[in-house]
Amino acid sequence: MTYCVGMRLDAGLVFLADSRTNAGVDQISTFRKMTVFEHPGERLLVLMSAGNLAITQAVRQILCERVAPDEPNVWNVKTIFEAVRLLGEAIREVHRRDAEALKEFKIDFNASFILGGQIRGEEMRLFQVYSAGNFIEATHENPYFQIGEAKYGKPIIDRVIQPATPLDEAAKCALISMDSTLRSNISVGLPLDLLVYEADSLRVTKFVQIDSSNQYMSMIRDTWGERLKQVFTEIPDPTWRDSAAAPGAPRLETEVTQPVRAPLPPAIQVETAPVPVQMVAGHPR
């Protein structure tokens, strides 16, 4: 498994991918999941993949090898929409060739991709492509995509990322998202590939490969963990309805409610507490 995230912002694009792949706890390897198609001044496309490594490598190989000038390829198509259609066709070609054989061995055809970038003459675009070769495009309302182990890193992105987010801030958010995933899932691991693309530059502008000795990533790991603990301790504990609380303090329980209880079987005797007897002047009342 892996984790990749791509963000489409007003100022540019952010791509981040890990490099771990595994076929069991004792078969963990490193394969880089990001491929860059760069013709400086003319186009910059970034492809990231997750899923079955044999499938994703086969798809990538088709895109890299089919470069005949008289046929559509990633180097000569006029739009990223055409490029993503080529990617979808490559996925379906691998499916036609391998899906039945994989099925015999009870292996699912599992592959997903993020493709984004810019071609001279059009705006930046970002797509997510599924195992069937179909795809969707990022929008102003939904400016990012995740593939692979997405659930751990999603909350921070949902809270922070908007189209107007500056690129460096978005890169920081992506790294925090990745750190959350690294902490919670062993199938995601270092090194990481981080590429930040500045709008209309039509070339790689910022790229870094991050390993365990990277100073900034170590700072993210330590600082984010400490800040989370600090915020956690600053949030008041729950205040129940019958507990003392400062005026205006938010209460967890404001009215009496009951859980859904299963009916007691008839054979079970329910003990009831005795009703207290109030004594007045020594005589029962």
Residue range 79-99, pLDDT digits in tens: 999 999 999 999 999 999 999
pLDDT tens-digit map of 103-120: 999 999 999 999 999 999
Q: Is residue 206 part of a domain?
A: yes
Selected residue with higher pLDDT from 254 and 195: 195
Mean pLDDT of the chain: 92
pLDDT at 277 (0 to 100): 59
Instruction: Report the pLDDT value the prediction gives residue 56, as an integer from 0 to 100.
Output: 97
Q: Does 151 fall in a domain?
A: yes
CATH of the domain at 33: 3.60.20.10
Helix axis angle, 215-234 to 167-184, nearest 10°: 80
How many distinct structural domains can be found in the chain?
1
Write the DSSP symbol of residue 278: P
- Going by pLDDT thresholds of 50, 70 and 90, the confidence category of residue 159 is very high
The per-residue pLDDT for 279 is: 59
- Domain-located, residue 145: yes
Is residue 116 a contact partner of residue 85, using CB atoms and an 8 Å limit? no
The reported pLDDT for the residue numbered 162 is 98
CA dihedral 59, 30, 203, 61 (to 10 degrees): -20
On the question of pLDDT at 191 being above 90, the answer is yes
pLDDT at 27 over 60: no
Instruction: Evaluate the CA torsion angle 80, 83, 87, 93 in order and state its sign.
Output: positive
For residue 193, name the pLDDT band (cuts at 50, 70, 90): very high
pLDDT band, very low/low/confident/very high, at 29 (cuts 50, 70, 90): confident
Domain-embedded: residue 245: no
Strands of the 3-9 sheet, one edge to the other: 144-148, 3-9, 12-17, 192-198, 206-210
> Is the residue at 117 inside a domain?
yes
Residue 284 is predicted with a pLDDT of 52
Q: Is residue 285 part of a domain?
A: no
Mean pLDDT, range 45-49, rounded to an integer: 98
pLDDT at residue 254, rounded to an integer: 85
Q: What percent of the chain is modeled with pLDDT above 70?
A: 92
pLDDT for residue 25: 54
Torsion (CA) 49, 52, 58, 59 in degrees, nearest 10: -40
Asked whether residue 254 is assigned to any structural domain, the reply reads: no
pLDDT for res 247: 85
Has residue 263 been placed in a domain?
no
Residue at 217: amino acid letter: M
Token pair of 173, please?
């958010």
pLDDT at 183 over 80: yes
Sheet holding 34-39, edge to edge: 34-39, 43-51, 111-119, 125-129, 135-137
pLDDT at 240: 87
For 233-282, write each residue's pLDDT tens digit.
Answer: 999 889 888 888 888 888 898 888 999 999 999 899 777 666 665 555 55
Range of the domain at 40: 3-230
Is pLDDT larger for residue 36 or for residue 27? 36
Confidence (pLDDT) at 33? 96
Q: Percentage of the chain surpassing pLDDT 90?
A: 81
Instruction: Give the pLDDT of residue 186.
Output: 84
At 109, list the tokens.
Answer: 């055809």
